Amino acid sequence: MSKTAKKLANLLVTRKLPDAVEARAARDYRAQLNPQDKNYTAEDLAELSQGMDGLLIASTNRMTADAIEGLAKGVRIVATFSVGIEHIDLKAAKARAIVVTNTPDVLTDATADQTMLLLLAAARRAWEGTAMVREGRWLGWSPIQLMGVHPGGKRLGILGMGRIGQAVARRARPFGMEIHYHNRKRLPKDQEQGAIFHQTAEDLLKVSDFLSFHCPLTPETKKFLNAERIKLLPQGAIVVNTARGGVIDDEALIAALKSRRLAAAGLDVFEGEPKLNPGYLKLDNAFLTPHQGSGTVETRNAMGFRALDNLDAFFAGKAPPDRVA
């Protein structure tokens, strides 16, 4: 990064980030940090962006058209600490000539690991077992206690076979799972690694003993897994979601879990999070984690460094490598 860029670039960091990321931001920018980790509103951002050249935001910062319009005129770039960009109105950013970047690639392995954790925990009734031990209800081993589902020989349906979907497939194969997938485009044979492609998502559902979501949230995928599509899944199927909460119709999934039409679910993301549908909390066959798919020190540092790499490039007069608008 050039000395000129260091001198001129004022950076607003909108959430508390890992120490190593904040240290680099403070070293290379006149960075205004958020040590209290306040989740800034649009009104806060309008005020705090005064005098700023760029923003380093997170997915919790809802950059609507109004929020972007309210930013100080000097803001030229918004780097998001996330792969997803649905929290940013890209059209509004383009209208303001504000560059937008994200942090792809670096979340892949951590999110795939979280997917397997959810898959196995849901299949093996981990929440029920943990609660039994912690609440003092475990009376000792029994031949029929907490019998779950063995993943070996089962069909794993992956909806969205991008980087994360492929990483999940690589992890699932050693468990003896047969990989099926639907994607907007079929993968080249060498990338499929024996996975079976389905032309439609509905065809994929019919063979998915386990269904794992790895697709973006779009108008087409919003509430994709509704009551009608749940009927297409095999009896006793297990649903896993580390993508976006909005791809699932919560009421439909809760009803299917409650009736045991579906055996279990492992969920890391929720519509309206952190205020998830309270119906999930009453289910013993829902294994729930708090959007921690990328939650490792290594991954969160890499996300921050990737965001800063994009800012460095921009303020050095170069094309940011991860520009999305």
User: 72: burial class by Cβ within 10 Å (0-12, 13-18, 19+)?
Assistant: middle
Catalytic site includes residue 291: yes
Exactly one of 155, 291, 300, 306 is catalytic; name it. Answer: 291
182 is catalytic: no
Q: Quickly list H helices, 10-137.
A: 19-28, 42-48, 65-70, 90-95, 108-123, 126-134
| Annotated active-site residue in 244, 260, 271, 300 | 244
Residue 307: which of 46, 77, 35 has the closest Cα?
77
Three-class secondary structure of residue 28 per DSSP = helix
Furthest-apart CA pair in the chain: how many Å? Answer: 70
The H-or-E segment that residue 285 falls in is: none
> Of the listed 86, 192, 271, 273, which one is catalytic?
273
The yes-or-no answer on residue 124 being catalytic is no
Q: Are 15 and 34 in contact (CB under 8 A)?
A: yes
- Encoded tokens for 126: 């981990």
The residues assigned a catalytic role are: 244, 273, 291
